[in-house]
Amino acid sequence: MAIYQHSDAAIWRGRVDGDEPDVLRWHQIMHCINLETDTLPVIGSKHQGVAFIGFCSDEGVRRNEGRVGAMQAPRFIREACKNFPLIASHIVLADVGDIVCDDGDLETAQQELGRLVAQVKAANYLPIVLGGGHETAWANFLGIQPDKPKQEMGVINFDAHFDLRQPGEKGISSGTGFWQMLQWCRETKHPFHYLVLGIQQYSNTKRLFTTADDAGCRYFLAEQFTNDQLEDIITAINGVMANSDVLQLSIDLDVFASPHAPGVSAQAFNGIAPNSMFKRLLRHIILSGKVASVDIAEVNPAYDIDNRTARLAAALIFDMVQAADMNAEYPG
């Protein structure tokens, strides 16, 4: 069965330059929470809460016949975050621990992660889920899925893959998550808006492109990730955000070119770059204020080089926290 492990304060120890506000680092203000015994700090109207949840799982990758090792990622991502400077002064940071899937029971682990995501959301925190394989996305969805009739669900996924495969003999996997979301929305009659950015043609079968087209999915290929396509991409993002009552942001690190992200299950030698264009899009999404939850997947420390991929994941988290802070209600 899935195991809940409370946050480890020892991970959040780092460099200390003093206690003055302008020299603080993330580890100095991190609230390490055991949700079995404690509650998250109350968030005031002028602050934004951000909570990290680890999903220690690569069972979905195993079933998908990929390179396992991603279940070790949450600790490495935290390590890469701990010494970040506290620039976002209106942010409350919390680490609520991990859901661990080490017995092959992926389905139960996903249900447990969904429960934690919902608990964090109920406390008015933005959940940032640290995967784990991309089976993390479905687990995250379980915590934020629409709970009212006619609510519309939107997902923006930075990914080299559609992950719209139908479950096979091995059941659900890291490649079925968005197909599961689509089926859930169809069965419950909730509109589903799905946008994928960074698709690799050589990594997706013709059937997956057909499935995406039939589902009304909008997508941009990795080769279209150029400045002359920027306005079209922003228009597509705005369309999903405008039509969504609940919005999930999912980032699969295999969307990036392998020099930037060598430690993933499936490398993309010609993936996109985490450059200023990408950062502009990421901040634009977070600044909308519509994101209900974020998941970052497929960091695989077993194949990483100098923790490069974990550091990239951490840098994306830093940018998102900065943007979330800009959405806080500042003092007059």
User: How high is the mean pLDDT in each 10-residue block of the chain (332 residues)?
Assistant: 91 96 96 95 91 97 93 97 92 97 95 97 97 96 93 97 94 96 96 97 96 97 95 98 97 97 92 96 96 97 96 98 77 40
- Residue type, position 291, single letter: V
Environment class of 20 (CB within 10 Å of its CB; exposed 0-12, middle 13-18, buried 19+): exposed
**How many CA atoms are closer than 13 Å to the CA of 193, on its beta-carbon side?**
20
> Per CATH, which fold does 3-326 belong to?
Arginase; Chain A (3.40.800)
Q: Is 197 left (phi over 0), alpha (psi -120 to 50) or beta?
A: beta
Global confidence as pTM: 0.96
* Per-residue DSSP letter, 72: G
The C-alpha angle with vertex 73 and arms to 202 and 77, in degrees rounded to 5, equals 110
Q: Return the pLDDT at 163.
A: 96
194 touches 182 (CB < 8 A): yes
Of 127, 53, 128, 129, the closest CA to residue 95 belongs to 53
Q: Shortest CA distance to 282 belongs to which of 219, 310, 332, 324? A: 324
pLDDT digit string (tens) for 108-146?
A: 999 999 999 999 999 999 999 999 999 999 999 999 999
Q: Which of 134, 111, 329 is nearest to 251 (CA)?
A: 134
Q: Minimal CA–CA distance to 200: which of 100, 274, 119, 267?
A: 267
Measured CA distances, 186 to 182, 199, 262, 276 (Å): 6, 24, 36, 37
